[in-house]
Amino acid sequence: MATKLYKQLLDNLTTAVMLIDDRFSLVYMNPAAEMLLEASERRLFHVPVRNWLMLADEDWQLLGEALEDQRPFTKREAKVRSLSGHQFTVDYSVNPMVQQGEKLLLVELHPRDRWLRISREEELLSQHETSINLVRGLAHEIKNPLGGLRGAAQLLQRELKDPGLHDYTQVIISEADRLRDLVDRLLGPYRRPQLSAVNIHVVLEHVASLLEAETGGEIGLVRDYDPSLPEFAGDQSQLIQAVLNIVRNSMQALQESATEQPAIKLCTRVVRNITLGSETHRLLCSVEIVDNGPGVPKELLSKIFYPMVSGRASGTGLGLAIAQTILAQHGGLIECKTVPGETRFQLLIPLESLPDNLPSGMQPQLNKEIRRD
């Protein structure tokens, strides 16, 4: 009776639990462990753990020492690969046991990927909000005296009787205008989104047509669309600007690196149950913009969404910052992953219900020319 109760308790735990014998073969795993490791207990029973669980050599050494010396230990943020090839991060605790003279190891696995992602996204959103607020405060402080400077230069030009001196006042006026334009770009999309029913594929096709016109077909464009994506409430013009900023960033990286057979891939999918900041969304639209360029330098990866940070000598460092601001206004987020030969920007946009007051049929349906490659 007690044995059945203990097994029932273990089977109903949300923590993944495994029992391993002294030959490092599986004796027991609960349903939570089956879900985490993507394999059933029946399939893995008495199969050597090394055959289906990929751990670092250091971890296997620690397990051997725990079994031999009967010494418990805990490992934080260990990388684990299941039999199916899925890699994930876990915290795990190992407690030695002796049952009827046989040495056993009780292993508890706590998945960390979800919490690490939430922590990383919260940090990214916090850093972006802080940097944007700082830049906007500075931009306003710069913009206020610019108007007075320009006006004073115009008044001075009227008082100068020598036309040859007008060149100097024109320099002041033109530089004031240039600084004003820069400040306006720093301020970014200051207006709130004008919500309407948005089809994300219409947004992507608009950007794709601009890319093809600018490059003359020199950069290959691959589409991988999920036609089941529904419309959502958003500002189409702002989203076009956000996607265009990222696509142009990829285009310029490919051109400046002289990448052979340069290509940009546009991919859409539905993702489920993702937490952005402190809010969990049941459904989100995922847009991935992938290029085969040299990648983002490691030292810049954590800073690329900051204003005025650019990996190119001619870059202003505003495009990605503005794109992140636009996504934040839509309750979304942009993430970047990069390795040499592939840079992947992922835009996550919540698929919230459309407001009741939106006119029906106001957004055109998916263009028939859009195809899935």
Which range scores top for mean pLDDT: 79-83, 85-89, 177-181, 320-324? 320-324
Task: Report residue 240's pLDDT band, with 50, 70 and 90 as the boundaries.
Answer: very high
List Cα–Cα distances, 260 to 45, 224, 278, in angstroms.
50, 22, 42
Task: Identify the DSSP state of 298.
Answer: H
Task: Report residue 373's pLDDT band, with 50, 70 and 90 as the boundaries.
Answer: very low
Helical H runs in the chain?
2-11, 31-37, 41-44, 57-69, 113-159, 166-187, 200-215, 236-257, 298-301, 319-329
List Cα–Cα distances, 294 to 253, 257, 313, 314, in angstroms.
8, 7, 16, 17
What are residue 28's DSSP bridge partners?
A: 19
Output the pLDDT for position 180: 77
358 or 366: whose pLDDT is higher?
A: 358
Whether the per-residue pLDDT at 267 is higher than 90: the answer is: yes
| DSSP-assigned letters across all residues of 95-126 | EEEEETTEEEEEEEEEE-HHHHHHHHHHHHHH
One fold for 2-111 and 196-350: no
- The pTM of this model reads 0.57
19 φ/ψ sector (left φ>0, alpha ψ -120 to 50, else beta)? beta
Average pLDDT over the chain, rounded to an integer: 80
Output the pLDDT for position 363: 38
Q: Please give the structure tokens belonging to residue 306.
A: 């900051």
Helix axes 236-257, 200-215, angle to 10 degrees: 40
Contacts of 248 (CB under 8 A, 6+ apart): 211, 319
Contacts of 103 (CB under 8 A, 6+ apart): 21, 22, 67, 70, 96, 97
Contacts of 52 (CB under 8 A, 6+ apart): 37, 39, 44, 82, 83
Task: Report residue 257's pLDDT band, with 50, 70 and 90 as the boundaries.
Answer: confident
Task: Report residue 122's pLDDT band, with 50, 70 and 90 as the boundaries.
Answer: low
Instruction: Say what percent of the chain tops pLDDT 90.
Output: 21
Task: Report residue 357's pLDDT band, with 50, 70 and 90 as the boundaries.
Answer: very low
Instruction: Say what percent of the chain tops pLDDT 70.
Output: 79
Domain spans of the chain, in order of start: 2-111, 115-187, 196-350
| Span 104-128, average pLDDT | 73
Task: Report residue 366's pLDDT band, with 50, 70 and 90 as the boundaries.
Answer: very low
What fold characterizes domain 2-111?
A: Beta-Lactamase (3.30.450)
What fold characterizes domain 196-350?
A: Heat Shock Protein 90 (3.30.565)
Task: Report residue 359's pLDDT band, with 50, 70 and 90 as the boundaries.
Answer: very low
Task: Identify the DSSP state of 89.
Answer: E
Helical H runs in 216-368?
236-257, 298-301, 319-329
Q: What is the pLDDT of residues 182-222, one digit of tens each?
A: 676 666 555 678 888 999 999 999 999 999 888 888 999 99
Output the pLDDT for position 290: 95
